[in-house]
Amino acid sequence: MKSVSLHTLGCKLNYSETSTIGKSFSEKGFTLREYGEPADIFVLNTCSVTENADRECRQIVRSVLRKNPDTYVIVTGCYAQLQPDEIAGIDGVDLVLGINEKLHLMDYIDNFEKRDLSCIYRESHEKATDFFEAYSADTDSRTRAFLKIQDGCNYKCSFCTIPLARGTSRSLSPEKILVNAQKIIDAGYREIVLTGVNTGDYSFENYRLIDILKLTDGLDIDRIRLSSIEPNLITDEIISFAKDSEKFCSHFHIPLQSGDNEILRSMRRRYNREQYRDTILKLKENIKDICIGADVIVGYPGETDGNFQNTLEFINDLPLNYLHVFSYSERRNTDAVNLPGKVSIRDRKLRSGILRRLSDSKRFEFYSGYIGKRLSVLPESCKDGFTEGLTSNYIRVKFSGESLTENRLVNVKLTRTDGVKPVFAELPD
Ligand code: SF4
C-alpha cells in the first residue's frame, strides 16, 4: 500500500483542510507518514500571505525529493491558485491543484508515476463557490480541534490576495457544523476553535455567526473559541453572549492593521480607529478576564513616520494584550502594490521591531496580572516531564507532570512569567 505525507503552510484554515485531505487518503487505505519521513506521495498545502511563498515552496519540494527522489509531489492551496505556472516550473512538482480542485484532490490522481512535465488543474477563483468541509482532528494531543465554518471573503482590502485565492464568502450549514463538531467531540477533543477567512461574515439562510455560537454552546464540550473576527462585525449580541457563556473562551483576536485613519481608509478597512477603540473598550468592560490580540501591518505604502507614530500611540493606549505584527509585503494583483510612497525594507523592519517590543510588554503586563491566581488549562502537549496548554484567555501555561492522558481541564496556579515563554504554574496540593 502506498504512503503519503502532508505539509501545511499558512493559516488554521489550511491546517484543517490538510487534515481532511489526510483523512481522505487514509480512508482509501494509504498509510499516513509524518512530514519529513520518506513517502510515495507528498502533498503541500500552500499559503500566499507573503512573497516568500515561492521560496518556501521550492525549498520544501527540494528537501522532500532529496530524501526520496521518486516521491510524487502535489502542490495545492492559495499559492497554487494564484501562481500555478510558477509552481509547475519547480523541478519535481507533478501536480498543481487550485482551490476548487483541492476539494476533489483524489479525483485528480491516477497511478502516481512521475513524468517530465507537471499537470495543472485550476479554475478561476470566481468558480470557487463550493464549500470544502474541513476540521483538523488528527494531532497527537487530541484536545483542541479547528472546525471550518466559513470560507472566502467579500471584502476588498487593498493589500489582500485572499479573495483572489479563495473566492467570495460562503458558509457551512448549521446542521453540517453540528455534525462535524460531534465527530470532533466523539474523537475526544475538549476544545473546538471555529475558523474561517472572515468568520464574522458567517451567513447561511437566516443564520448568522451569533446563531452558530449559541448552537455550539449547547454541545457537550468544555470550550468553544473563535479564531478571529473583523472589528466591524462584533455586535452587542456577540459581546453579551460571550459575557454570559461558560464555554465560550474569553479571547478575541481582532485585526487592526493600522491605528491611523488615513492608512485604514487607503487599506479599505471597514472601520476607523475610534470605532475600533470603542469595540475593544466594550469587550474589556463586559467580559471578565478577556484577552484581546490584534494583527497589525507596518510599512504599508504611504505610511509616513507620522502615520506609524499614530499607530504606535493608539495601540499603546489601548488595552490590547498581544500583537501579531506583519511587515507589508507586495502582492501581485492587489491595488496596494500600485500605490505611491513605498516604505523602505529597513523602515519596515524597524517599525515591526518597535511594535513587537510593545507586544512583548503588553503580554508581560497581562500575564503578570494572573501570577498567584488559579486558572483552568487544557493540556495540549507533554515533553520532558512538563505539560503545556492554554487557558480560556489564551495564556500558554507550563507545569510539571504529564497530565495530557487524562484529557480534561486542569486547575493550576500561575507562578512565574517572563511574558514571552509559557507561564510557569503549579498543580494544587
Ligand atoms: S477582511 Fe480584508 S484582509 Fe481579511 S480576508 Fe477579507 S479582504 Fe483579506
Kindly report, residue by residue over 7-39, the tens digit of the pLDDT: 998 888 888 889 889 988 988 899 999 898 889
Joined grid coordinates for residue 310: 499614530
- How much is the pLDDT for 382? 83
- pLDDT for 139 beyond 70: no
Residue from 14, 125, 155, 326 to probe ligand 1 pocket by mutation (most atoms less than 8 Å from CB) = 155
Cβ 238 under 6 angstroms from ligand 1: no
Cβ 270 under 6 angstroms from ligand 1: no
* Residue 374 parent element (H or E): strand 374-383
CA of 155 to the centre of ligand 1 (A): 6
Cβ 197 under 6 angstroms from ligand 1: yes
Kindly report, residue by residue over 352-366, the tens digit of the pLDDT: 999 999 999 999 999
Joined grid coordinates for residue 280: 475593544
User: How far is it, in rounded angstroms, from Cα 224 to Cα 79?
Assistant: 30
User: How far is it, in rounded angstroms, from Cα 158 to Cα 297?
Assistant: 12
Cβ 155 under 6 angstroms from ligand 1: yes
Taking residues 60-74, what's their average pLDDT?
90
Cβ 198 under 6 angstroms from ligand 1: yes
Answer yes or no: are the C-beta atoms of 395 and 373 closer than 8 Å. no
Residue from 13, 125, 154, 157 to probe ligand 1 pocket by mutation (most atoms less than 8 Å from CB) = 157
pTM score of the predicted model: 0.91
Kindly report, residue by residue over 76-112, the tens digit of the pLDDT: 998 899 889 988 888 889 999 998 888 788 888 777 8
Cβ 231 under 6 angstroms from ligand 1: no
Cβ 152 under 6 angstroms from ligand 1: no
CATH code that applies to domain 282-368: 3.30.750.200
CATH code that applies to domain 131-249: 3.30.750.210
CA of 379 to the centre of ligand 1 (A): 32
CA of 160 to the centre of ligand 1 (A): 6
Phi-psi label, residue 152: left if phi above 0, alpha if psi -120 to 50, beta otherwise: left
The CATH T-level fold of domain 3-123 is Rossmann fold (3.40.50)
User: How far is it, in rounded angstroms, from Cα 360 to Cα 151?
Assistant: 31
> Which amino acid, one-letter code, is at 306?
G
- pLDDT-derived band of residue 57, with 50, 70 and 90 as boundaries? confident
Cβ 311 under 6 angstroms from ligand 1: no
> Residue ranges per domain, the chain?
3-123, 131-249, 282-368, 374-426
- How much is the pLDDT for 367? 96
Q: Which DSSP symbol is given to 205?
A: T
Q: Which atom of ligand 1 is nearest to the CA of 257?
A: 3
Cβ 163 under 6 angstroms from ligand 1: yes
Q: What's the farthest any 2 CA atoms get from each other in the chain?
A: 65
Cβ 364 under 6 angstroms from ligand 1: no
Q: Do domains 3-123 and 131-249 have the same CATH topology?
A: no
Paired with 44 in beta bridges are: 7, 75
Kindly report, residue by residue over 269-316, the tens digit of the pLDDT: 999 999 999 999 999 999 999 999 999 999 999 999 999 999 999 999
CA of 294 to the centre of ligand 1 (A): 14
CA of 13 to the centre of ligand 1 (A): 14
- Least confident interval from 139-143, 184-188, 217-221, 270-274: 139-143
CA of 156 to the centre of ligand 1 (A): 7
CA 55 to chain centre: 21
- Least confident interval from 50-54, 144-148, 311-315, 343-347: 50-54
